């Protein structure tokens, strides 16, 4: 009787016990009906290679579903997620994607599975696995624009073009901080600074997921790779990182926290180890920090084969079964297994024998089903009525061109050799990157490593082609001179150079990522150095164009060339954008999102500690990068004046206003990223000499004057202290903007 009374009380006064219903799907009711096999299937992700015709790494081209393999995946294993394009294969035409995705959906329904399959893909700089999609500059170039609004726009386009292929999940953005220039994935980061990278992270999530991730034009984002992946001590991918908890929180956590707060739906885990523990087996990082502290509610997916790697690479588990238990108990929701079903078999056994509590499994399945409902997978047809007429459109490639144009960073321009806008001149264009779309795009371009030029987007121009087209009043000539690693017809190149008025040398780096991109020496190849040096001997203006995966050391040539145009990996419109910076149609406004090292053993960041400036003669000159973080020239000149700070004291919950006037004193329109830095004079953790506090990119017409204001709150000056708390300590601080400096007290 008492029980009935209690129940009635609950129904009338508290309301019915709430079931989790999203977009009309009652997730708890679904979970209650699922078998152990179905739950394990939902936590499994396989590669397209496992269900396609052909051998796993030698698929029939174009990729095509194999009925029997599909039956095994969806009927026998109830697989919940599939990814990418198949090991060793490349980009897929949109119509082909459509038949793959619809084929999976139809098979899934025919096996009476009520839960739809979630397809995920690496759309890293545009929908790079969909033929003819718009390819944007890689993330490092996006950061160099210092214009997060552009990052938001390009992610919206990437989402749209990914959905056009029926794919609702993108393994992007990379939120690892680029503080190790040797690392093969440096170009995939938003650079070395927490503030700049965090603002790009937020923009990327907003652009990709939009207001409603369940729309036909948005996709779920995946923050990569949690946590500390980008800072291996050796610089080689997936090798040990030694990072204290304090540094993890100070440098590597904020981008992820920002993205989680922006509503990012999924996260991928760091393949490597930190302080001796592989992250895939680290409960402290995957549960205590990610779930309990940061409150992340989305799906945590492993990186490629990483549960097996706990056995065969990291040696922390003796068997795959032990590894599965370790990873799931640490906090993994879904395993990118991705080439077999051993993981799934182990998981089923572990659940059935009670080694993993069903409550732990249900928590993961709930997150996966929540994502699927949020994405609208249960109640929409895979292909909504949207026609995707903007896929690969001119509008989208214009955006790519604009972003490439804003990213390109003019690092040197002696005697204003650039722009080359005199008619009637002879210009020689040479070097390995002059006639290559692959070297402009880098890895994750049509294929994983981006080295196969069979798939290149039709109609895109190389640097030489774009220069030739855009400078009809000049004579443009081409000679390769050198490949990436050897001289090629150098005598022909020198012969043409002798009669040229200007020489443009386009240097590059082989597209690569992850372990295939590991290098031992950051120095530009000797063939490319030799080419530049041979051309320098002619005593003609030499303009260097650099398209690198990471800042290759160019110290031996940088001081002798007349101009340096740093292109990063500018994507399919990079040829046009670089060419228009050279001919002056684009006024450069990119600024380095990293400190450019001048020597292979001198990786010091701009926000270094004072002790890192002490030179061998005890002067303060040891910090000598090739180019500083935030550096970049323009064809305009900007004059800063009237710098002011509203108060000389800042109270804990208060803010102050920093203001400065910026004038474009040149005769052409230009854009400037105004950068505000601060320095904590005394702190319990050694303070950096300076740290970026805020930035604003403004565009000024010729002669225009604009006031730029920044609001500074005490919390903006915080850091992680010894007890891992984020604090702002009272004391004196300096604000630094251009050549101005002002001090104030934080109470």
Q: Which of 84, 139, 142, 302 binds ligand BGC (CB under 6 A)?
A: 84
Q: How far is the CB of 301 from ligand BGC (least distance, A)?
A: 9
What b/e sequence results for 37-51 when a residue is b if at least 16 CB atoms lie within 10 Å of its CB, and e otherwise?
A: bbbbbbbbbbbbbbb
> Do you find a cis peptide bond into 441, omega within 30 degrees of 0?
no
Angle at 65 between CA 63 and CA 67, to 5 degrees: 155
Which is nearer to ligand BGC, 303 or 672 (by Cβ)?
303
Site map 249..268 versus ligand BGC, x via CB under 6 A: -------------------x
- The string of DSSP letters for 434-450 reads TT-SHHHH-SSBSBSS-
Give the span between the Cα atoms of 549 and 139, in whole angstroms. 11
Q: Tell me the CA distances in angstroms from 286 to 225, 328, 351, 362, one per residue in order.
A: 12, 10, 20, 17
Of 541-570, binders to ligand BGC (CB under 6 A) are: none
Of 484-503, binders to ligand BGC (CB under 6 A) are: none
Q: Tell me the CA distances in angstroms from 432 to 354, 411, 513, 544, 672, one per residue in order.
A: 59, 20, 19, 12, 31
Which is nearer to ligand BGC, 120 or 670 (by Cβ)?
120
Strand partners, 740: 737
Site map 4..43 versus ligand BGC, x via CB under 6 A: ----------------------------------------
Q: How far is the CB of 600 from ligand BGC (least distance, A)?
A: 25
Q: Nearest-CA neighbor of 500 among 428, 429, 561, 562?
A: 428
Of 510-539, binders to ligand BGC (CB under 6 A) are: 514
Q: How far is the CB of 268 from ligand BGC (least distance, A)?
A: 6
For the record, the structure tokens of 471 come out as 């400078």
Which is nearer to ligand BGC, 120 or 551 (by Cβ)?
120
Angle at 86 between CA 84 and CA 87, to 5 degrees: 115
Give the span between the Cα atoms of 8 and 366, in whole angstroms. 28
Which is nearer to ligand BGC, 271 or 664 (by Cβ)?
271
Give the span between the Cα atoms of 384 and 394, in whole angstroms. 23
Q: Tell me the CA distances in angstroms from 428 to 434, 443, 490, 581, 596, one per residue in order.
A: 10, 28, 13, 16, 27
Q: How far is the CB of 79 from ligand BGC (least distance, A)?
A: 16
Give the span between the Cα atoms of 418 and 565, in whole angstroms. 10
Q: Which of 39, 125, 202, 224 binds ligand BGC (CB under 6 A)?
A: 224
- Pairing relation of β-strands 58-59 and 54-55? antiparallel
> Do you find a cis peptide bond into 338, omega within 30 degrees of 0?
yes
Q: How far is the CB of 582 from ligand BGC (least distance, A)?
A: 34
Q: How far is the CB of 17 from ligand BGC (least distance, A)?
A: 39
Which is nearer to ligand BGC, 176 or 607 (by Cβ)?
176
Burial class (CB in 10 A: 0-12, 13-18, 19+), 521: exposed
Q: How far is the CB of 122 from ligand BGC (least distance, A)?
A: 5
Give the span between the Cα atoms of 658 and 151, in whole angstroms. 26
Within 10 angstroms of residue 726's Cβ, the number of other Cβ atoms is 12
Which is nearer to ligand BGC, 252 or 304 (by Cβ)?
304
Q: 3-state class of 382 per DSSP?
A: coil
The site that binds ligand BGC (CB under 6 A) totals a number of residues, namely 9
For the record, the structure tokens of 450 come out as 């981006």
Q: How far is the CB of 130 from ligand BGC (least distance, A)?
A: 15
Strand partners, 696: 674
- Pairing relation of β-strands 426-430 and 502-508? parallel
Which is nearer to ligand BGC, 175 or 564 (by Cβ)?
175
Give the span between the Cα atoms of 586 and 502, in whole angstroms. 19
Q: Which of 176, 273, 303, 333 binds ligand BGC (CB under 6 A)?
A: 303
- Pairing relation of β-strands 719-720 and 649-650? unpaired
Q: How far is the CB of 107 from ligand BGC (least distance, A)?
A: 23
Catalytic site residues?
303
Give the span between the Cα atoms of 301 and 43, in whole angstroms. 9
Which is nearer to ligand BGC, 151 or 270 (by Cβ)?
270
171 forms part of the interface with ligand BGC (CB under 6 A): yes
Q: How far is the CB of 162 from ligand BGC (least distance, A)?
A: 13
Backbone angles phi, psi at 50, to 5 degrees: -75, -20
- Pairing relation of β-strands 726-727 and 719-720? antiparallel
Which is nearer to ligand BGC, 122 or 465 (by Cβ)?
122
Which is nearer to ligand BGC, 77 or 171 (by Cβ)?
171
Which is nearer to ligand BGC, 271 or 456 (by Cβ)?
271
122 forms part of the interface with ligand BGC (CB under 6 A): yes
733 forms part of the interface with ligand BGC (CB under 6 A): no
Q: How far is the CB of 225 from ligand BGC (least distance, A)?
A: 6
Of 184-223, binders to ligand BGC (CB under 6 A) are: none
Let me know: does 194 contact 716? Beta carbons within 8 Å.
no
Tell me which residues touch ligand BGC (CB under 6 A).
84, 122, 171, 224, 268, 271, 303-304, 514
């Amino acid at each position: 009787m008492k029980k009935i009374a209690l129940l009635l009380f609950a129904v009338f006064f508290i309301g019915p016990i709430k079931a989790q219903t999203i977009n009309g799907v009652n997730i708890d009711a679904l979970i209650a009906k699922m078998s152990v096999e179905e739950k394990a299937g939902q936590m499994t992700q396989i590669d397209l290679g496992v269900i396609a015709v052909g051998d796993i790494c030698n698929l029939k081209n174009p990729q095509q579903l194999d009925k029997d393999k599909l039956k095994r995946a969806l009927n026998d294993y109830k697989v919940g997620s599939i990814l990418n394009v198949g090991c060793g294969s490349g980009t897929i035409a949109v119509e082909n994607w459509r038949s793959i995705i619809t084929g999976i959906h139809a098979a899934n329904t025919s096996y009476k599975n009520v839960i739809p399959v979630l397809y995920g893909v690496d759309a890293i700089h545009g929908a790079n696995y969909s033929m003819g999609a718009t390819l944007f500059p890689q993330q490092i170039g996006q950061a160099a624009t210092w214009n997060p609004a552009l990052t938001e726009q390009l992610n919206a386009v990437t989402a749209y073009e990914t959905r056009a292929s029926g794919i609702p999940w993108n393994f992007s953005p990379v939120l690892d901080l680029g503080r190790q220039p040797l690392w093969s994935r440096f170009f995939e980061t938003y650079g070395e600074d927490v503030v700049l990278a965090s603002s790009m992270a937020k923009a990327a999530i907003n652009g990709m997921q939009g207001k409603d991730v369940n729309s036909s034009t948005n996709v779920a984002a995946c923050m990569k790779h949690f946590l500390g992946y980008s800072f291996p001590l050796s610089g080689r991918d997936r090798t040990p990182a030694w990072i204290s908890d304090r540094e993890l929180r100070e440098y590597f956590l904020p981008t992820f926290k920002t993205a989680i707060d922006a509503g990012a739906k999924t996260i991928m885990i760091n393949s490597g180890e930190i302080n001796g523990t592989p992250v895939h087996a680290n409960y402290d990082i995957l549960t205590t920090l990610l779930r309990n502290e940061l409150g992340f509610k989305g799906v945590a997916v492993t990186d490629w084969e990483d549960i097996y790697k706990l056995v065969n690479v990291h040696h922390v588990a003796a068997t795959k079964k032990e590894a599965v238990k370790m990873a799931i108990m640490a906090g993994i929701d879904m395993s990118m297994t991705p080439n077999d079903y051993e993981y799934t078999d182990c998981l089923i056994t572990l659940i059935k024998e009670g080694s993993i509590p069903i409550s732990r499994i249900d928590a993961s399945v709930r997150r996966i089903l929540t994502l699927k409902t949020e994405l609208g997978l249960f109640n929409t047809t895979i292909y909504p009525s949207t026609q995707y007429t903007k896929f690969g459109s001119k509008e989208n490639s214009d955006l790519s061109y604009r972003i490439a144009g804003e990213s390109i960073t003019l690092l040197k321009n002696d005697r204003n050799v650039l722009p080359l806008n005199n008619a009637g001149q002879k210009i020689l264009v040479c070097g390995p990157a002059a006639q290559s779309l692959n070297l402009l795009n880098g890895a994750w371009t049509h294929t994983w490593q981006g080295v196969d030029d069979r798939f290149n987007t039709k109609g895109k121009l190389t640097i030489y082609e774009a220069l030739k087209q855009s400078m009809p009043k000049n004579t443009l000539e081409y000679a390769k001179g050198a490949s990436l690693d050897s001289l090629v017809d150098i005598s022909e190149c020198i012969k043409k150079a002798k009669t040229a008025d200007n020489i443009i040398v386009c240097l590059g780096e082989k597209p690569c990522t992850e372990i295939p991109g590991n290098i031992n020496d950051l120095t530009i190849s000797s063939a490319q150095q030799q080419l530049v040096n041979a051309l320098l001997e002619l005593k003609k203006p030499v303009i260097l164009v650099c398209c690198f995966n990471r800042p290759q050391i160019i110290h031996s040539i940088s001081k002798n060339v007349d101009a340096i145009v740093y292109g990063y990996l500018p994507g399919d419109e990079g040829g046009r954008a670089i060419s228009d910076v050279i001919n002056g149609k684009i006024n450069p406004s990119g600024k380095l999102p990293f400190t450019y090292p001048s020597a292979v053993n001198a990786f010091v960041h701009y926000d270094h500690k004072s002790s890192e400036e002490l030179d061998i003669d005890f002067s303060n000159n040891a910090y000598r990068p090739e180019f500083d973080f935030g550096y970049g020239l323009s064809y305009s000149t900007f004059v800063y004046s009237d710098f002011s700070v509203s108060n000389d004291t800042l109270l804990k919950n208060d803010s102050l206003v920093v203001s400065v006037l910026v004038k474009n004193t040149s005769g052409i329109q230009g854009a400037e990223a105004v950068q505000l830095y601060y320095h904590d004079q005394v702190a319990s953790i050694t303070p950096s000499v300076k740290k970026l506090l805020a930035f604003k990119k403004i565009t000024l017409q010729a002669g225009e004057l604009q006031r730029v204001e920044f609001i500074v709150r005490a919390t903006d000056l915080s850091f992680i202290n010894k007890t891992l708390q984020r604090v702002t300590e009272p004391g004196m601080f300096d604000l630094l903007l251009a050549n101005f400096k002002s001090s104030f007290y934080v109470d």
